[in-house]
Amino acid sequence: MVSTELVDSTIQYQKKYHKIADFSLTNQNGKIVTQNDYKDKIYVADFFFTTCQTICPIMTNHMVDIQKAIINDDDIMLLSHSVTPEIDTVAQLKRYAKIKGVNDSKWNLVTGDKKQIYQLARKSYLAVKDNGNGGPFDMVHTENFMLIDKKRQIRGFYDGTNPEDINRLLNDITILKEEK
């Protein structure tokens, strides 16, 4: 059962056993990344694109801060999904990862099938509300960071542009780690 203190009010009433769907995407090193790479891990997920000039640079800098905080903790990883996979090729993600100081063992920047990524954003991570007026490829652009537990369940939403929310997320990771 999801502990309600840790669950964002917008998802408290979602199905109790909602889980992140299986996925298969390609990371900045050209390696296939699946849910198995995150098995028995707590992780922070987000959706971004490398050419974004607005919220993404702030979000990425905050992910770098989280990476620093969790760098020696084998239980915790990061996962950033590109929402413009046609631009964010493996080579582009690799360049971006180098510039930003991404640690490959902790943090996957992934690209792949746009439909799969958008479906993950909407149906698995609940990162975006479908406003109903657009097709399946409406731009998924959200400042949300999602905290996922070892059972592949969402435990919280955080504003990836807000330093206070980043502190809350780090605190929640500590709480999650104490759960059995």
pLDDT in tens, 59-102: 999 999 999 999 999 999 999 999 999 999 999 999 999 999 99
pTM score of the predicted model: 0.87
CATH for 4-178? 3.40.30.10
Spatial separation of the C-alpha atoms in residues 106 and 96, rounded to whole Å: 15
**What is the phi/psi pair of residue 83, to 5°?**
-95, 0
End-to-end CA distance of the chain: 12
Instruction: Render each residue's pLDDT in the chain as its tens digit; 180 residues.
Output: 344 445 444 554 555 567 899 999 999 999 999 999 999 999 999 999 998 888 878 999 999 999 999 999 999 999 999 999 999 999 999 999 999 999 999 999 999 999 999 889 888 888 775 544 444 445 566 789 999 999 999 999 999 999 999 999 999 999 999 886
